[in-house]
Amino acid sequence: MEFATRLLHGTSGIDSVTGASSIPIFQASTFHQFDIDKPGTFDYARSGNPTRQALEEAIAHLEGGARGFAFSSGMAAISSVFLLFSAGDHLVVSEDVYGGTFRILTKVLTRFGIEATFVDTTKPELVEAAIKPATKGIYLETPSNPTLKVTDLRTVCAIAKKHGLLSIVDNTFLTPYYQRPLELGADIVIHSATKFIGGHSDVVAGLAVTRDEELGSQLYAIQNGFGAVLGAQDCWLVMRGLKTLKTRLDASTASAGKLAEWLAAQPGVEHVYYTGLASHPEHFLQQRQASGHGAVLSFRLAGRPQVKAFFDAVKLPLVAVSLGAVESILSYPAMMSHASMPVEERAARGITDGLIRLSVGLEDIEDLKADLAQALAAAAKVQQITASAV
């Protein structure tokens, strides 16, 4: 089956017991054992729940992996995967990784003796140079958040395999519809399902998929022991969102491509970051390893005064800490997604005070253009005043 059909008729399409058109919400914390000598599949909801199992099977199926796992948030998924490592281990990590990932690596895992080196993973030679005797894994985010850098997954995963390292990929921006890292050699793929997979700004969730059963067993022990599992109702909401993933992402991506080209032509916009633009340095790499460019782009204004005027004037998009929803969402990385990253670290990664991230939703593109145009006009007035004062 093609992807759109698999979303509707794959592992979680119809309840096999009742024929219901959606998997039921099993709102239960524990399960009766009819025979203590023959325990059932489910006993306690932290260890397993039929609704959660349906979601976990669905994401494993879509990513082409052996085992899927549903967590209480994207960061719960990321943190649980990091718990596969032990004191003394070292990780090589994409330098412009999501701020929450940077925070747990630098503020929490260091207390347990797990160290990380942040490198520009768009340059495979830097990845290999950063590997130490203690290195046990490579953690990638591609396209990266928020500057949309693209890592050559096949090459970097091959480097990991050569050195006996785990390769982990955050696939939130593209979902298994546009990009399947396991097929390119990765061992684990992670999603913040709060974003495109859920897609409706109504659920917080994380997903992970392992390439093989052995690794899946290790991650299950952590999921069960650590307990950061996704509740049954939230699992149902994520499965509902999955059904329309292709349609939503295709529409939003089409609009994002047009908006990126339009923004690049606006006088007050200094730079647009979007892999769908031919000017993007990894444009053709992205086309080789993924089937789409996604609905997230970033653009840079002159500075914070212009950004403040822009956000004060904009009307249609949500101004919020998230992305991947049916509504367009504008974020200010310096004070939102990457606020926990030190200023000097943000500057080194191109996350300036003028950077704005836009997750394009399902609004009519002409309405979005008109709204962004008047907001850019407001920013331009501030810039003129600033220039006059100088």
β pairing state of 318-319 and 329-331 = parallel
Burial of 23 (0-12, 13-18, 19+ CB in 10 A): buried
Cα gap 96→143, rounded to integer Å: 10
Active-site annotation holds for 67: no
Residue matched to tokens 């709102």: 27
Catalytic position from the list 96, 152, 170, 187: 170
Catalytic position from the list 52, 67, 98, 349: 98
Share in percent of the chain as helix, strand, coil (round to 5) = 40, 15, 45
Cα gap 377→375, rounded to integer Å: 5
Cα gap 90→117, rounded to integer Å: 8
Catalytic position from the list 52, 67, 195, 349: 195
Active-site annotation holds for 170: yes
Cα gap 295→252, rounded to integer Å: 5
Cα gap 146→299, rounded to integer Å: 10
Cα gap 230→100, rounded to integer Å: 19
* DSSP letter assigned to residue 230: P
CA distances from 207 to 20, 77, 191, 332, 360 (A): 24, 6, 5, 25, 22
* DSSP letter assigned to residue 350: T
Three-class secondary structure assignment of 268-298: CCCEEECCCCCCCCCHHHHHHHCCCCCCEEE
Size (the chain), residues: 390
Active-site annotation holds for 98: yes
Residue matched to tokens 């330098």: 95
Q: Name residue 336's amino acid.
A: M
Cα gap 224→218, rounded to integer Å: 10
Active-site annotation holds for 332: no
Cα gap 270→35, rounded to integer Å: 68
Active centre residues (catalytic): 46, 98, 170, 195
